Structure 1
Amino acid sequence: MVGSSADGDPPADGSADRAGRSQGRSRRRNTARGSGAAAAPVPDTRGEGGSPPPRTDEEWTSQARSILLRQLALGPRSRHQLLQKLAEREVPPAIATALLDRFEEVQLIDDAEFARMWVRTRTAAKALSRYSLRRELADKGIEPDLAEEALQQVTDEDEHLQARDVVRRKLRSSADLSDRAVRDKEVRRLVGVLARKGYNPGAAFSIVKEVLADTGTPD
């Protein structure tokens, strides 16, 4: 046959040499892929037992400062509220105290002003009695003397007029107050409204009777 020898010698055109070289290159590439250099190991920065390494004081301070600034951006906060927030984030007490002291020095935290603001806004929005306001300020961690100073913004007369206004707004115009049973039920309901705002029952009852008298409702 043309192009081949009778005893099986390879073709004279060199195709066998080229095929051999191609196979050799393929084997070398496969070997290189299979035995490539291992990836460099990632340094283990974990602490004992696989836990993250402890934070430095500087790192804690930076995190705590960010927490405080975010909280204050949402609105005024008392020192006690901010301390609770730092405790929730497990900021070390010594670092939390030092940072809160610093915020007070630059007047970013001012419990006296916070208390005054709280009394003004809660009185305007909710018509709360001084009793309820005092309790809320205590829940915010405001010292009693600062709370009493803030509560001086509301006088006895202010509180009385405020309670009368609440009763007038809550009085049901559809109620037939000429009916004794209906009137007594309405009185109890209105006394309950004032009681939930912190007015003592005796004062609340007197204020409700005053308002009903102003409307011409018979006693």
Structure 2
Amino acid sequence: MESFEKNYNRALRFLSFRLRSEKEIRNYFQKHKVELSVAEKIIEKLKKYRFLNDEDFAKLWIESRLKHKLRSISLIRRELLLKGIDKEIIDVQISNFQFSISNELENAQKLIRKRIERYKDLPRQEIYQKLGRFLASKGFNWDTIKKSIDEVLEEKV
């Protein structure tokens, strides 16, 4: 029983930093060599008290990544899949945000505006390449990248 209480408190401490997915908790227990039966009981208790809920986790992750980190939908989807969130949950949560192509274009343009001053002395082609690679690393597709770079550079002219 001591093992249960100790590991339950350890899980709560782990969750106190930010919400986690069920897979993250399972990996945490595995890393700390928690017995599987104890880990399962703890996970059930965490779910019962809604400390562990993949739907809530996905919703908050999407909101954070769209509004604060300015990530693309495709990158957010990949991140959630890596965190063990079910594809159906991801699809539902993304559709709840009613995120459109224009929002993604806006996010790409915000990122460009933050970064473009670094490249002001470079030739236009090199600016395109650097910004293109940067936006690609944030998960934006090439259509969005090209359109957003074109629009921001037109503003600067």
TM over 0.5: yes
Q: How does 1:39-188 map onto structure 2 within 5 Å?
A: 58-152=1-95, 153=97, 154-172=99-117, 175=120, 182-188=123-129
Residues 60 and 173 of structure 1, relative CA distance in 2, 3 Å threshold:
closer
Residue 189 of structure 1 pairs with residue 130 of structure 2: yes
- Greater RCO (Cα-Cα under 8 Å, separation 6 or more): 2
- Superposition deviation, residue 173 in structure 1: 7.1
> Could you say which structure has the higher helix fraction?
2
- Superposition deviation, residue 98 in structure 1: 2.1
Confirm or deny: 8 A CA contact 1:67 1:86 kept in the other structure: no
Where does the alignment leave 5 or more consecutive residues of structure 1 unmatched?
Answer: 1-57
* Partner Cα separation in structure 2 for residue 61 and residue 108 of structure 1: 16
Residues 176 and 59 of structure 1, relative CA distance in 2, 3 Å threshold:
closer
- Superposition deviation, residue 214 in structure 1: 2.6
TM-score, with normalisation over the residues of structure 1? 0.65
Q: How does 1:193-204 map onto structure 2 within 5 Å?
A: 193-204=134-145
Correspondence for 1:207: 148
Where does the alignment leave 5 or more consecutive residues of structure 2 unmatched?
Answer: none
Q: Identical aligned pairs, as a percentage?
A: 24
* Partner Cα separation in structure 2 for residue 162 and residue 203 of structure 1: 10
Paired residues in the alignment total 155
Residues 117 and 203 of structure 1, relative CA distance in 2, 3 Å threshold:
same
- Superposition deviation, residue 148 in structure 1: 1.7
